[in-house]
Structures are given as C-alpha cells and as structure tokens.
Structure 1
Amino acid sequence: MPPPRVNRIPRDEQPKIDRTGTLDDPLKFLDQDYQELKKSCFKNNRRYVDEKFPSDSSSIDPKKKLGLDMEQIKWLRPSKIVADPQLIVKGVSRFDYCQGSYLGNCWFLASVGALTFQEDVMDQVMPVDQSFGEDYAGIFRFRFWRFGKWIDVVIDDKLPTIDGELIFVHSKTSNEFWPALLEKAYAKVCGSYADMHAGLVSEALLDFTGGIHVHFEIAKAFIDLWSLMNRAEKAKALMACGTFLGKTSENTVLPNGIVQGHAYTVTGVYKVTCQKKPVQLVRVLNPWGKGEWTGDWSDESSLWDKVSVKEKSMCRSLANDGEFWMSMEDFTKNFEDIDICCLSPDFLDSSSECRWTSTSYKDSWVDGTTAGGCLNNKDSFWTNPQFRVRIEELDEECSGQCPENILVSLMQDHEKRNRTEVSNYAIGFNVFVVNERCEAPGQVLLPQTPHCK
C-alpha cells in the first residue's frame, strides 16, 4: 500500500481566515440583505414581497408530492388572518404550536420544542429586533447554521392558508406567528415546504445551534444513558428522540399512546422517590401538541400518588398538551434512538472540571481522485483525504474518564438547494493511532490498525 497523504499546508501558503459566516457577520442567504430590503420598503411605502421564495406552488410543493389542491391555497399576511397579529405572545414556549396536517416535519418541530428551552440560542435563530409594531414592513429574518457557517435568511410574512386557516404549523394562540414564520424560513432554506417532509432530528438541531451532535441507538448504548441525559440537560443541551417504525405505515398510534415512526422532544430528566425507591424519569413532548403515553407515570397514572407532594406538584400535569413522563425503563423500550446537541460536549464527561476543545477541517471526496473507498480497497484507500489530530495530555481531573476523550463527526455539504434532491453518499471515516509526530516536510507514517470507525 502506498504511504498515506497527509493534508498539510505550508504556513506561508495558508489562506486567510474567513470571518464571514459568524453570528456577528452571517452570510446573506441568496444574497438578500435584510437591512437594505427593509429600508427599501420604508422608502417606497410598501410591504416586502420575497421574489426568491414566491407565494405560489413552487414554494410549497414543486413536485406535487403533498396532494394539496393549490387552487384552494391563498397566501395571506397575518394582518389578513387576525386583527391583532403578534410575533410572540407571553414568551416562547414548547406548548405554543401544533404540527400541520399536510406536512410530515415532526423532526423539525421536535427540534423547535428543544430550542424553546434555550433563550440565548432562540435569540440567535430569531433575532429580537423585529415585530408587527411600528417598524413593521412585512419582512422578517432568521439565522441558521449551515455546514460551518451562519446564514441570515430573509422572508416576507405571507403564509399559505385554506379558508383563512394556516395549513402547516400553527400556534395554539390564534394571533401568535413565530412558529409559522420560523417554519417558512426553514422551508426556504430547504427549497420548499415539501422539501421538509421527513427527515432527521439531528439536521435541525445542528442548524439551530452549530453545536456538537451525538446520536445513540438506545438498545446499543454502552453507557448509563439516563445519567448522560441528566448531564446534558444541565448543560442546556437540545435533545430529541425517535420511535420505532411500524410494520405497516408511519404515524400509527399504539394502544399505549406512542406514535410509531415519530420524532419527539426530550423536555426533562428527573429522579423521584417512589415507595422509598429512586425512579429515573424522562419527560417527552409530542410535536403534534396532543397525544400522550398512557402507561406508568403518564398524566393519569396512580404512581404519582406514591411520591411526595412536592415532587408530584413539580412534575405532574393533567393537560392534554402532548407532554408526558415515563420511566427510563419504558423509554428504552418505546424509543429507538436519541439525539443530543450542545454547544460543547463537556457533558459527555462525568467530571465537571473537563473542558473540550474543537477543530474543524474541510475537504472533498472526488470520484477517481480522492474517493479511495473503504479499507477493502487497499490499493486506493490511501488517496482518501487525511487529517492528523494531536490529542493533548489530559488534566488530572479528566484522566480516566469514559467515554474516551475524542469525538469525531463527519458532515456532508449539500450540492443542491432542494433538500429532497440531495444525494446522500455513503461516506465514513477511520481513526488510526500514529506512534510519533511527523516533523520533516513530506515525511509520512504508515497508520496502525484502526482505533475506531
């Protein structure tokens, strides 16, 4: 096997650091400048109309997959739907919205539910300097993190309706519109509303935070998952989970109230004492805004009568709002996987003294050039992009922690705007142990046996 090719750029040839795409200076999605567009609206005494996400079928369902009658749909501004539209009414909450009937984007809304817990992150995604007040011009903006860069997404506030009712996500408070506008901005990034149909929770969690994402198949988790979730909650992580697919079709409601093939938000992790024994609980939210678990520790469960009055009043809710508690044991039986996204992976270590650092690299797999295939392709494997990572010696407080002290994540950038037209290639990575550093220019070392994959 030829020697590996290590990506190393001489110092004098390294490109200048690009400061654009940060929260302070986000990239302008589709080259639309929010401030300039808003200024133009005031100057011309008109409300904004977004020509790059028009109010027609191309923005809803260009491939006609949702089965909607487009002739029935009217795009209305909130002021044409209600008399007193507001962006936010009495704060942002996970109970504000319900999923629409025509679009299977529970993965997105489960992430929104997690987002509502973190005010700072919410303010990043939905800048606070906008409303239906005096400076209203029919234009709003949202920020998402896309493949290493923050982008500023501009939309008008025309929303698709049938008979005056929103057809996609809608607020339980009739004059509150932040959920519908956030969904529209994300639909614009995805290409259309229909391009949001079906997806992975991890996509939206990353787009909201730009953070570190970890995914666990619950049945195969090799750690104390409840303790990890408890630490993640304290670290203000965003968490969501998914149920097993049904044998016949998705969204089948089981007798116990759990929906098959459905995404949920993890909204709480708590331990109660029941008959002198500790019980680990998980609180979960259905993005439908209704439909709950009916087993042990559900709203009507008699087990709540066996805990202290304080714990019962703190945790139990009888509202049919889609949120419920269940034991960790039942959680592991009914949910297939869990996604956790946080600005830092510090929660992975049981010691509060541990602090992680991160580094990112960008490269490409090109057919015939750098796409060398997996380890089975011994003659070409070495041509794959390679990166040398040095792990610094751990502090005494962190040494011996489990999991190990390296987390590797691979992300595929989209080559097309419309999300459903993107080809998801099977790209993986191997991590090798290297015995010593390469100091001389051009010097390379053969990798040892893969440490992990």
Structure 2
Amino acid sequence: MPPPGVCLNIMKTRHKKDGYGSLASPEKFLNQDFNQLKQYCLVQGVRYIDEFFPPDRNSIGQGVVNPSDLSRIEWLRPRVSKIVPNPAFIVDGVSRFDFGQGIVGNCWFLASIGALTFQNHILVQVVPLEQSFDEDYCGLFHFRFWRFGRWVDVVIDDKLPTIDGRLIFVHSTTPNEFWPALLEKAYAKVCGSYSDMSAGTPSEALVDFTGGVHICFQLADASPNLWQLMFRAAQSKSLMGCGTPQGETSANTVAPNGLVEGHAYTVTGVKQVMSRGEAVNLVRLWNPWGQGEWIGDWSDKASMASDFMEKNKNKNKKTVICVLSKLICDFQRMAMGDFCRFFSDLDICSLCPDFLDGNSSCHWKSSFHDGRWVAGTTAGGCTNYHSFWTNPQYRVKIQGLLDECAQKQGEKNMLVSLMQKPDKRNRRLVKNLHIGFMIYEAISIGKFPASFFNTHLPVAQTKTYMNAREVMEFFTLKPGEYLIVPSTFKPNETASFILSILSKAETHIQYAVSPPPACLNVVMSA
C-alpha cells in the first residue's frame, strides 16, 4: 500500500478541443441524448416528458411555494396551452429586458443571465439559438453548462409551472418569449429543483456559463488598480457580477441609498469621464429586479449627468449622447469609490485570463487538476493537525519570465483556485467543507514528510478556510520550486476537488509513472 498522501487519483481535466466533456462534445447530463430523444418523439408523434425532472412537486422542491398554492400549480406547454397564442423561443434577440424574477430567490442566477446577454459569443455556448416552437417541435429543449470540469448538455421538456395561467418563476417581459423560463428550468434540473436555486452568489452561475477563469475581489480592501482591471475585463468581454452586504434585519431590504441589501447585481460596464476638471471612474450596474435604484452621486437624481451634458453641449453631439447612453440607459451608475463602499464583493469570470495583465504581449495560461481527499489516507486536515502532511501535494516550478512578459516589482504572477465538487445532486443538500491551501518553498524531491511541515512555514496561503464552493488567492512568487497543499480544515473529511493554477506562461505537466506518484509535478513560467 502506498504511503499516506500519495495521489492515486489525480488527472489533468483540461480536455482536448473536441474531447468528450468539452464544449464541442459535452457530456449528456443524466445520460439523456437530445438528438436521440428528439428523433424518437418526432417518429412516434409524441411530445417529450422528462422522466428525470418531471412536472410535479418534486421538481418544485420544498419551501418555495406556499403549501396552499401547490395544488393550484399547473404545468403547461407554451405551444399547446392558454399561456400565449404565439409562443417563441426568442423574440427580437436576447437582452436583459427579456425577463423578470419569479417567486424563487435566485437573483444571483438572474444577475448572471443579465451579464450573459451582453456577451453573445458566450451566450451561444449556453443557449443553442436554433431552437423553436415551430419546425420539428416536440416539446424538447436543451442547454449547456460547465459543471466541475465538464461541459454537460441538459435536456428538458417545455412544461412550465403556472398558477392561473401565469408563470410562477422567471417570466419574460415579452409574454410570448420563453428562452428565460426554459433556461431557468434547465439550471433548476441541474441543481435538483427550483427551490434548490434559492440563495447564492453570481460567481456560481458565471463559472457554469463559461467554464472559465473566476476571480473574486473583496471590495473592502480593493487594490488601487481594481478599476483598471475591471476596464480590461470589460474590454475582453468578461462577465462580471457583484453583491451588496446583508442588512441588519433581512435580505432584500431597500437601503436609504436605494440599493437592495443582500442582493446580486450585474456589472455591465465601466467608463471614465471628465467632470469638473477631474477624471471620474464610473461603474455601470443592473438590478435584475428592474426596480430599486442607487440615489447617490451619478444617479439619475444627481446633478453629475446633467452637468456633464451641459458642459459638453458644444462638443460633437453624437459623441456626448453615445457616452451618456452607455452610462444611463436602464442602469444604475456610480463612482468607483462608492461602488467599493456600498458593495461587498466583485466576481469576474472570463474565457481567457489575459485581462489580468495590461501587457498584451504576455498571455496567462491555466491548468486544471482533479484531486480527492479520502478519510483515513489523504485527508489530513489543516496545519493544526499532525496529519497535515498526508494531504495531496502538488509541486510547481516557476521559471523566469521572458523579456516581453517582464513584470513590475510586486506584480501578481500566479492565481491558485481550489473548488470542491458536490457529493449530492440537490444543491441545497450539499454541505461545503471548510477548504484552503498552503504554498511552501520546495527543498527536496518526492513526498514531503511530516517533519518538513513542522520546521517550515508557508510562503503563501489562503487568508482563511472557507465553507465555499471555491476559494482563490493571487500571489507574487519569485522563480523557484514550490509545493501546494490543498486541504480541508478538519482531518478525515472525504471530498473531491479541482485545483486550478494560472500563470503568465506555458504550463508543463509531468507525471511520475513508477512508483506511484507522491505528488503532481507542475512546471510553469511566471
């Protein structure tokens, strides 16, 4: 038997472009094949009913609908019911104006959809646009999500829960448009039920929409260059979401400043304007509720926008109107200082992490690796426990950067993310463990014994162990060899995880073959 901590089940999870589980060839969620099911329904002349997410109370879930209303719910198909006379999948394109929140508390999901509607190249990954209620209709639709290292294709029927002929969950502001309700149903299926979508953060859905790089910033200690990073993220067509802190009483209370407490918003853009002789960095926000608006500086009720128009009235009119339309429209806008003051966190999710660095000649590279903590063998807990050394260990070699990628003093050159995988399908039943990781300078080859961790301190680590789906940290590490040790806070807790490592240069993975590898060797340039 190999010694404790030996990584017997570590594999690189980045797929080949057309490999199974990739976006080009997604896995069939619950082994349901969209094309086969559609062909069967068309040949048999029947409309599809999903046996894995049936139109019943189990799919609604617990606590989201009043018990007295459960018996009133009727599952209706848009095409063959009295919801609307002429249903359509999409009407006049996809936009944030298309939907409103229903009775389930999933503003985090809707804020993420709002971000998705601004990036069509990402939207088409999630929402196959060729679907309709017309040609070859059989009550069958499908959507794609990234789920813990794999893209999955999710099949649903189009029976939607209604009361008195009205949709009770996400509904479209255009009555005969149904892509928002069907997308929500597909994600509810992945989560286990509609009620399993209650409460969350935009980052979860943003990652599931992109399969990309996710970075979270705590705005209370935001770096001075955060706005510049947001600007680059917007230029690179990233998805951004943010949240307000919880109120003293309950969530979703409108504060005196007009913002909703404990609520998710979409960051739809950033813009710099000159006002009163000074450059002002603005953040543009969208509330998925469609109501409740910031009333401070740069709001519709403030004088800044009026002053801006007045002082620029002699300039090119089209340019001024264009700038203001990007700022105002249906959004809320606020100065960067107020944004960091009144919002708690910012999530940025991108297909490519190059926006992290303003140097266009240098590209960040990412790698993803599956791992697992197993009680009694590879689950040693945090450094409070003598068994810490038995956790999975990852060796990383950081080489010097090429001249064109040379970094400034103190500039971050590595991002490490640790995401735990759920052990249950129903999202509300998943109990996230407290997870984190330590990074040490590596001074030997092979498995690092307990004595090493008794005599060496980490050079970098997560700020705290968190019971979150994902924890991450930015680091500045000098060239050399390092050891990354992901762990749960307590020992003997079993769970699977994905370790993501991002650097500014090519990533090389080396696997030991015999004897069984004590760790995964990762060679990187940063």
TM-score (norm 1): 0.92
**Equivalent-residue separation in structure 2 for 1:356 and 1:223 (angstroms):** 22
**Equivalent-residue separation in structure 1 for 2:303 and 2:12 (angstroms):** 65
**Equivalent-residue separation in structure 2 for 1:368 and 1:321 (angstroms):** 57
Larger strand fraction of residues: 2
Deviations along 1:258-309, whole A, 9 cap, x unmatched? Answer: 0000000000100011122111100000011222112211123321122235
* One-letter identity of the residue aligned with 2:40: S
Where do residues 212-231 of structure 1 align in structure 2 (5 Å cutoff)? 212-231=213-232
Tell me which of 353, 367, 381 is aligned to 2:361.
353
Tell me which of 87, 92, 96 is aligned to 2:94.
92
Aligned to 1:400: 407
SS at match of 2:54: coil
Aligned to 1:44: 44
Where do residues 9-158 of structure 1 align in structure 2 (5 Å cutoff)? 19-61=19-61, 63-67=62-66, 69-79=69-79, 80=81, 81-100=83-102, 102-158=103-159
* One-letter identity of the residue aligned with 2:332: F
Aligned to 2:480: none
Q: 1:15 to 1:245 in 2, by over 3 A?
A: closer
Tell me by how many angstroms 1:393 deviates: 2.6
* One-letter identity of the residue aligned with 1:416: K
Q: 1:285 to 1:189 in 2, by over 3 A?
A: same
Tell me which of 346, 357, 382 is aligned to 2:389.
382
Where do residues 35-434 of structure 1 align in structure 2 (5 Å cutoff)? 35-61=35-61, 63-67=62-66, 69-79=69-79, 80=81, 81-100=83-102, 102-307=103-308, 308-309=312-313, 312-316=320-324, 323-377=331-385, 379-401=386-408, 403-434=411-442
Tell me by how many angstroms 1:190 deviates: 0.2
* Farther off after superposition, 141-150 or 197-206: 197-206
Tell me by how many angstroms 1:17 deviates: 7.5
**Equivalent-residue separation in structure 1 for 2:210 and 2:64 (angstroms):** 30
* One-letter identity of the residue aligned with 2:275: C
Q: 1:15 to 1:274 in 2, by over 3 A?
A: closer
SS at match of 1:41: helix
Tell me by how many angstroms 1:217 deviates: 0.7
**Identity of matched residues, %:** 55
Report if the CA contact (8 A) 1:107-1:201 is conserved: yes
**Equivalent-residue separation in structure 1 for 2:376 and 2:303 (angstroms):** 64
Calculate the aligned-residue CA RMSD, in Å: 2.5
* One-letter identity of the residue aligned with 1:329: G
SS at match of 2:243: strand
**Equivalent-residue separation in structure 2 for 1:129 and 1:314 (angstroms):** 32
Report if the CA contact (8 A) 1:171-1:180 is conserved: yes
Counting matched residue pairs gives: 442
Report if the CA contact (8 A) 1:104-1:197 is conserved: yes
Report if the CA contact (8 A) 1:267-1:285 is conserved: yes
Report if the CA contact (8 A) 1:7-1:387 is conserved: no
Deviations along 1:322-378, whole A, 9 cap, x unmatched? Answer: 62111111111110110011112211112122201112111111222211111121x
Deviations along 1:85-143, whole A, 9 cap, x unmatched? Answer: 1111111112211111x111011111111111111111110112311121221110000
**Equivalent-residue separation in structure 1 for 2:447 and 2:170 (angstroms):** 57
**Equivalent-residue separation in structure 1 for 2:347 and 2:124 (angstroms):** 22
Q: 1:361 to 1:56 in 2, by over 3 A?
A: same
SS at match of 1:360: strand
SS at match of 1:278: strand
**Equivalent-residue separation in structure 2 for 1:171 and 1:92 (angstroms):** 11
Report if the CA contact (8 A) 1:291-1:321 is conserved: no
Q: 1:223 to 1:385 in 2, by over 3 A?
A: farther
Q: 1:15 to 1:177 in 2, by over 3 A?
A: closer
Tell me by how many angstroms 1:166 deviates: 0.9
Tell me by how many angstroms 1:314 deviates: 2.4
**Equivalent-residue separation in structure 2 for 1:313 and 1:39 (angstroms):** 51
Q: 1:162 to 1:320 in 2, by over 3 A?
A: farther
Deviations along 1:143-188, whole A, 9 cap, x unmatched? Answer: 0000000000000111111111111111111111111110000000
**Equivalent-residue separation in structure 2 for 1:29 and 1:15 (angstroms):** 18
Unmatched runs of 5 consecutive residues or more in structure 2: 462-526
**Equivalent-residue separation in structure 2 for 1:91 and 1:65 (angstroms):** 31
Deviations along 1:392-445, whole A, 9 cap, x unmatched? Answer: 431223222454211111111111100000110012111122247x4xxx5758
Tell me by how many angstroms 1:84 deviates: 1.1
